[in-house]
Each structure stands twice: as C-alpha cells, then as structure tokens.
Amino acid sequence: MSHLNRRQALRLFAAAGAAGLTAPILSACGSSSDNDSGSSAVPSGPPIKIGMIVPQAGVYKDLGSELDNGFGLYLRLHDNKLGGRQVNLVKVDEGESADSGKAAAEKLLKEEKVLALTGVVNPQSMLAMKDAVEAAQIPLVGSNASPASLQGAKYIWRTSFVATEPGQAIARWAADNAGGTIAVVGQAGPGGEDEEVRSFVEFLKGAGGDIAGQPKTTPFGSKDFNAVLTQVKQSGATAMYASYGGAAAVEFVKQFHNARFPGGFKLLAPGSLTEGYVLKQQGDAAKDVYTALNYSPDLDNAANRRFIADYQKAFGTIPSTYAMASYDAAAVLDKAITDATKNLDSFSLNAAIGRLGQIDSPRGGWQFTQNRTPLQRWYLRQVRPDGALLSNVLTAELATQG
C-alpha cells in the first residue's frame, strides 16, 4: 500500500499552484491525449443538457456542495465539455425529503429534456425517483445515494458504494482487532432500519466476532446520545461500531469524546462518521476513530495526485469521497458520451456506460458490476495528526467489494 502523508500533499498542492497547472490534465478516464477517451479526442457536436440533483439548502446542503464541487471541477478541467460536447448543466434542488427529490427528477426529465442525470444525496430520494427514471429511459449516474434495496434498475448507475458495504468492509478487521465484544449503535433512517448496521452485524458474526447485547438505534434526527453512550459504557464492550452521518456524526463523536471511555476502547464506523466537512467540525474529539471507506486523499496514484492538486487549487481544501465520486460521475459520462457520440441519445448513452470497462479513478481503478455499482478496493483509515492537520490517515487495505 502506497500513500501520501499530508505534508507531502500540501507540498504537491503548492507546486501545482505555482506551476499554474499548465501540464496536460489527467482525467479519471485517462489522459486527454488518449484516442479513445477524454473530451478533446472526438469532434465537437451539438451541446448537451445534463441535470444535476443536489440539496441546495437544509441538512444535506454541505454534502450537496461537495457533489457540486466534484462534478464542476471535472467540467472546468475539460473546457465545460463531456465527450467533446459543450455542456449545459441544469441544477435543481433535491431538498430534504423523498418527495422533493422525486419532484426534482421529474422536472429535469419532463421539462428540461436532459440527456442524463447525476447527483442525488438522500437514499429515499433515489428510491422515490427510480420509476420515473426507468420509465423515461434516461441514465442517472448517481454520485452518493445507493441504498441496498435499489434493485433491478437498468438506467440508474452509482459511482459511490452500496450502503451495506462499509460495514462489510470493516467487519473482519473488527473481529480480529476489537479485543472482546463490540457494541453496535446507529440512527434509524427515514425508511427504517439502518442498512450499514445490519450488514456490519451480519458480517461480524460471520467473521467470528461477538456483539455486546442487541444493536441500539437512536431516533432519526436526534442529537442527544448520552443515554445510548451510557448503555454502551455499562455493557462491558471493548469497542463500538457507530453508524452516523452529517450533523448527527458531529454530535455523536463530540459526546463520545466527552463520555471518557476507558483507554484502549475503539470506536469503529463507516467513513461517513468522520469524512469531509464533519471532521472539521469534530476537531480533536475525532482523534483515533477508525473508519472504512472507498477513498482516502493520501492514496498515492497518478489520478489522485492530479485530483487533489486540482481540487485544492479550485476550492482551497482537500477532497472527500463525495467530491471524488461526483468527479468520477462526470468522468463516466465523458467517456460514455465519447463512445456513443456518433448516434448520441439517452438510450445509446446508457448502453455505452455498460461498455465502459475500468475507470482510472483517484480511488484506484474500478468498474461497474451487474448491479451498476463499483467493484472497488476498500481502505481502513484512522483519524490522527498528519503534520499540522487532523486527518483520516490510510492505515491498511481491507477488501475488494462490489
């Protein structure tokens, strides 16, 4: 396993900024000099319209901004073209509910007549818009929401990961390293059971690990975790798996830190617990938390080095997995439109996505499975100081899943 420490990354950022990034841009689908990929490799054609569904306000706004940043960066680096076609990117507000997400998709499908869709943060929105997308036969290359219950879709692709995969990825490591029993807690989603909790419990037991009592669920939207933390502390568990994201993740980590668990107690989680903007808000309270995720900014490969330099220059910060997945969604569309450009419509574009093969991504190479989600490598990270910054530092490779 090879990775960059944060000091090396910052030096790279500085060098890239000083050079003005004048070297040829390497996209997530390869260099623009390649004959079979990249916007400059094909003749230009009529402009195309792409619809982006992201939250523009409310509890999901920060995550939506990261999706917007990743997709927008790819367009900026490719002269606002995908597959040689000028792009008209139409953004609509996903909102906070399944109904608002569905309405956003229907607006783009029926009124804007888009070639393809991207984005989508809320898993319930993704489920709610499935029938409309499938009926319209317009591909959706989603870059975040990917519930395990989304099955049988022919026009919905995801560049992120299935919600059950983080728990599966870290379960064996947890069984071997927890030092005893593991308490499991999570937040009930709007649709009910937490898929990440369920998959972790199933795979932990399969790996020979022990659960301390029954998994505990806190109400959706709750920000008071003192009662459940007290229960875990009294259970005798030596570690805890906690599934939270967004504002709930910030509060959970801070309250866990204040609860003063005994030395050696491990907090394990899906990457969402400490990823991106939430880690900045958690600060030192997140130190030593272990998470499983499909991406870490300190991965040392050519596509990632270019991506983090470009992202830092554009936004002044280090990219998250959310921004990376949206960047890859643009790369998928770029390569597929290039392939389908002689007879480009939504139907031929969807077929071209199915023929893509491996994507050269900042996370490492990956490809779509039959379920239209990535077959990809998973990584173990630990929150710890890396130079002057507190970061999710890559510590091990876990497994390939998809």
Low-confidence stretches of the chain (pLDDT beneath 70): 1-44, 189-193
Supply the pLDDT for residue 314: 97
* In contact, 114 and 50? CB cutoff 8 Å: yes
Angle at which helix 123-136 crosses helix 98-106, to 10 degrees, equals: 30
Other Cβ atoms closer than 10 A to 256 = 24
Other Cβ atoms closer than 10 A to 356 = 17
Tell me how many degrees the CA angle 29-35-36 measures, rounded to the nearest 5. 50
Domains, the chain, with CATH or none = 21-161+316-368 (3.40.50.2300), 165-293+380-401 (3.40.50.2300)
Nearest alpha-carbon partner for 78 in 338, 321, 322: 338
Q: Where are the alpha helices (DSSP H) in 266-358?
A: 277-282, 302-315, 321-340, 346-354
* In contact, 263 and 291? CB cutoff 8 Å: no
Supply the pLDDT for residue 38: 42
Nearest alpha-carbon partner for 382 in 287, 279, 243, 259: 287
* In contact, 67 and 121? CB cutoff 8 Å: yes
Prediction pTM value: 0.89
Nearest alpha-carbon partner for 154 in 169, 142, 137: 137
Supply the pLDDT for residue 3: 52
Q: Where are the alpha helices (DSSP H) in 138-245?
A: 165-177, 195-206, 226-234
| Tokens (6 digits) for 256 | 């866990």
Cα separation, 181 vs 184, in Å, equals: 10
Cα separation, 175 vs 161, in Å, equals: 22
